[in-house]
Amino acid sequence: MTPNSGLPCVPSPVEENGQNHILHGKELVRVLTGNGVGGVKVEAKFDSGAATCSIDTRLANQLGLRVVPDTWICVKQQPLGSAVEPLCPEKRRRPVVEMTVILYGRSYDVTASVAARSHMSTQLLLGENLLELARQDACCPNCGGSIWS
């Protein structure tokens, strides 16, 4: 909890094997529809090891999120020490959407990669692009409302 706010802080990174990660941190957030009217509450997982947020394909479609034209994120799945490919192969490209996430009463406009996440524990992953913005808000000391306000 943040002093005097009654709201929890964004989890701090945990160091493991020389890497900073947030382990098993989850929170209910609200993701707005593409037109900004309405939205859905969804459990999201914090992942400071991910550069950007990631949203399930079905959820992105349900919300009518806009795909950013001619933009994609290259997913790194190479083991350490392997040869680096100069260009991102198509099989590692993910489309990108723009979305608004309400976390601890604050609104964050971020981009997210779109991927099939139905086999994962959450439909939404909150990466560093959102976590950094939340940290800049200093754990929302002046929110004063619920996470749905």
Q: What is the pLDDT of residues 117-145, one digit of tens each?
A: 888 889 999 998 998 888 777 554 444 44
Give residue for tokens 């560093």. 128
In a domain, 69, yes or no: yes
In a domain, 31, yes or no: yes
In a domain, 12, yes or no: no
Residue 30: CATH number of its domain: 2.40.70.10
Nearest-CA neighbor of 31 among 6, 62, 5, 1? 62
- Cβ atoms < 10 Å from Cβ of 54: 25
In a domain, 6, yes or no: no
The predicted pLDDT at position 4 comes to: 42
Per-residue pLDDT tens for 78-89?
545 555 556 777
In a domain, 10, yes or no: no
The predicted pLDDT at position 14 comes to: 47
Asked if 142 contacts 61 with a C-beta cutoff of 8 angstroms, the reply is no
Range of the domain at 36: 26-73+91-149
In a domain, 111, yes or no: yes
In a domain, 17, yes or no: no
The residues of the chain scoring below 70 in pLDDT are: 1-24, 77-86, 138-149
The predicted pLDDT at position 68 comes to: 92
CA angle 52, 54, 60 (to 5 degrees): 135
The predicted pLDDT at position 106 comes to: 84
Domains: count for the chain: 1
In a domain, 84, yes or no: no
